[in-house]
A and B are shown apart, each in its own frame.
Chain A
Amino acid sequence: MSIQSDLSELVEANIISSETATRIEGFYASKSTSGSRLMSVFAILGALLIGLGIILILAHNWDDLSRSTKTIFAFLPLLIGQALMAFALFRKNDSTAWREGSGVFLFLAIGSSMSLVSQIYNIPGNLSSLLITWGILAIPIIYLLRSSVTSLLYIIAISVYANELAYWAWPHGKPYMYLVMMALLLPFYGRLWMQAPKGNFTVFHHWFVAISLAVSFGTMTSGSGNGELMMVAYMSLFGLFLALGHDSILKLGSTFKNGYRMVGTLGTVGMLLAFSFDEFWESIRNRTFDSYHAFSSFEGIAAVALTLLTLYLLYRQWDKTGQEVRPIQLAFAAFIIIFTLGIITPIASFLVNLLVMALGIFNVIEGNKKDHLGILNSGLVFITALITCRFFDSDLSFIIRGLLFVAVGVGFFLANYLILKKRKQHEA
């Protein structure tokens, strides 16, 4: 920064004007901030690698060491991490590199200390309670250091907890704590969103939260005969993601940055394709639904809450911004109707097929209108995926299935060709 002392000298000697001096200063300042962003990335990567490396090395049991020596090693990363965090918190609070790096290191140290003690004392494995304790001990790090990377690691930890408890642990449990842990993160997430709506960390958070919810939502199913109602709840969850991902709220367009929109779209279409098979509907057809138990179960409450919330957001989207609601955003509502019909009639699977077909065709038309190849081809992909499912499902003869495929393939070519031809005409 000797530049600055030289600058004042040059201004005094009238070599450069003070205005030029300010601009030179600003130029160097912006250079250093982009440098410091690179520093942050390296610091985060470095901390992650060091932390993981330490965990791996410590995980190797040193038989020759006494128990007390091993215990010291259990605490060492923890103490180092806390010291680093204190340093970052009180001396280097402005440095993102320090805050994120120390946060990640301490986060990993918490886990390593608990798992190392488990190994030293041969404690029987209970992964879910270790993860929960890990998460609770890590929450203050996220808030004190305002560390986004620690927050992302935290989301991974609680998602693993939910899935571990529900699917892999024995006996199984209901990971309702997952919702509490996620709720604890919301103030931080919300503030991050407000302060930097288009920042990289915010975009990552959208993706992580969307995927975590999508994967962990199902772990809390009550399973006892209301499992099918979970599907309605899930469709509404994806509908909520689509509403959140819309420009009226997220302002990230339809790029890959828009985690909610991507997960919402994939989730909605994926589930509909699954429901296009009759197998699913066989299990609920002609069943008497005990509506009291259905609506007081987790699925029932979640389905109602998510549906209402999504409808509200859609209303706001339509009313406030005047932007039209895209049909895929209404898929969850259509599904509720289909689901209700599915209990009493056998036409539900047929209706789902119609719905997916309609979504695909709509995208093709919209893509054509807006001259957007991405939207157009996504519509064609929906239709192709649907046809592929029918290929494996129905007892249509091979000839008919073959013709269907050829038809869709021709459709792909035609649609793309027509658009590109239209573009060439406009350019000509």
Chain B
Amino acid sequence: MKHKAIIIAVFVIMALAQLFVPAQMIMERENVLSTGSEFKFRTAPVDPYDPFRGKYITLNYSVDKFYTSDSTWRDQAKAYVLIETDADGFARIDDVVREEPTDKENYIYCDVHFNAWQNPHYLSVEFPFDRFYMDEYKAKEAEISYRNLANDTTVATYALVSVKAGDAVIKDVFIGDTPIKDYVIEQRVD
């Protein structure tokens, strides 16, 4: 009977662990989505040679550079990037620091890369929200629309992102003020 008790115990622990992993992934992100600050990140044109992925669209951001001549950044791989809203209502990088900020919450912990062979020097920031999953039938059309419009300065394409204390979760991608999945449907009807 003791043998059976051990089996039951191991099974229960295993089942709880298996449930815990996805649950934790969800809770962390739900927390950021519900209590974080929203920012609109302007998206940049996608490299047209990017291979088409199908189930998600790849996003590039135009605000991903932070100009600095501080070359000690060369050795830093990750940093805390502070975000604020500019005059047009879109996100911009306020500052990049090595230590975790204690007084504010709208910062993202991500990979940074010091670019020293272009003048002026800058830190390029790799935001952790570079992909947006979509219905596979809509994804390709979305990427084409998005790519065509990203060069059009009259229509703003941006990603709505929730930021809190180092984490960032993407909520939706907008073309103008229409969520991209609705935009694709509108385009089809025309």
Q: Which A residues form the contact surface with B (CB < 8 A)? A: 59-63, 71, 74-75, 78-79, 82, 85-86, 89, 106, 110, 113-114, 116-125, 133, 137, 140-141, 143-144
In the assembled complex, the CB of B115 is this many whole angstroms from the nearest CB of chain A, namely: 17
Could you give, for residues 145-157 of chain B, a 1 whenever the CB lies within 8 Å of some chain A CB and a 0 otherwise?
A: 0000000000000
Chain B residue with the shortest CB-CB distance to A121: B29
In addition to A114-B21, A124-B131, 10 A-B residue pairs with Cβ atoms within 8 Å of each other are A61-B133, A74-B26, A78-B22, A106-B18, A113-B18, A117-B22, A121-B25, A125-B131, A141-B14, A144-B14
Given contacts A86-B11, A123-B29, A144-B10, contact A61 B22 (CB under 8 A): no
B170 within 8 A of A: yes
Given contacts A113-B22, A117-B25, A137-B21, contact A122 B14 (CB under 8 A): no
B19 within 8 A of A: yes
Return the contact of A124 from the options B13, B21, B128, B136 (Cβ within 8 A).
Answer: B128
Return the contact of B14 from the options A60, A125, A140 (Cβ within 8 A).
Answer: A140
Contact residues of B between 22 and 44, Cβ < 8 Å to A: 22, 25-26, 29
In the assembled complex, the CB of B104 is this many whole angstroms from the nearest CB of chain A, namely: 23
B17 within 8 A of A: yes
Given contacts A59-B55, A110-B18, contact A122 B11 (CB under 8 A): no
Chain B residue with the shortest CB-CB distance to A82: B15
The main secondary structure of chain A at its interface with chain B is helix
B22 near A114: Cβ-Cβ < 8 Å: yes
Chain A residue with the shortest CB-CB distance to B128: A124
Could you give, for residues 130-163 of chain B, a 1 whenever the CB lies within 8 Å of some chain A CB and a 0 otherwise?
A: 1111111010000000000000000000000000
In the assembled complex, the CB of A114 is this many whole angstroms from the nearest CB of chain B, namely: 6
Query: Which residues of B sit under 8 angstroms from A71, Cβ to Cβ?
Result: 26
Could you give, for residues 161-190 of chain B, a 1 whenever the CB lies within 8 Å of some chain A CB and a 0 otherwise?
A: 000000001100000000001000000000
A82 near B135: Cβ-Cβ < 8 Å: no
Most buried by A among B21, B129, B138, B170: B21
B7 within 8 A of A: yes
Chain A residue with the shortest CB-CB distance to B17: A137
A119 to B56, CA, bound (A): 9
Most buried by A among B18, B169, B181: B18
Return the contact of B19 from the options A75, A121, A125, A141 (Cβ within 8 A).
Answer: A75
Chain A residue with the shortest CB-CB distance to B28: A121
A114 near B25: Cβ-Cβ < 8 Å: yes
Query: Which residues of B sit under 8 angstroms from A133, Cβ to Cβ?
Result: 21
A234 to B160, CA, bound (A): 51
Most buried by B among A63, A71, A113, A114: A63
B134 near A61: Cβ-Cβ < 8 Å: yes
A425 to B26, CA, bound (A): 77
A82 near B22: Cβ-Cβ < 8 Å: no
In the assembled complex, the CB of B16 is this many whole angstroms from the nearest CB of chain A, namely: 10
29 contacts between A and B (CB under 8 A): A60-B136, A61-B55, A61-B135, A61-B136, A63-B135, A63-B181, A74-B22, A74-B26, A78-B19, A85-B11, A86-B15, A89-B7, A113-B18, A114-B22, A116-B22, A117-B26, A120-B26, A120-B133, A121-B26, A121-B29, A122-B56, A122-B129, A122-B169, A133-B21, A137-B17, A137-B18, A140-B11, A144-B7, A144-B11
A75 to B16, CA, bound (A): 12
Query: Which residues of B sit under 8 angstroms from A89, Cβ to Cβ?
Result: 7, 11
In the assembled complex, the CB of B183 is this many whole angstroms from the nearest CB of chain A, namely: 12
Query: Which residues of B sit under 8 angstroms from A141, Cβ to Cβ?
Result: 14
A408 to B136, CA, bound (A): 55
Query: Which residues of B sit under 8 angstroms from A123, Cβ to Cβ?
Result: 25, 29
B11 near A124: Cβ-Cβ < 8 Å: no
A124 near B10: Cβ-Cβ < 8 Å: no
Given contacts A61-B55, A137-B14, contact A124 B26 (CB under 8 A): no
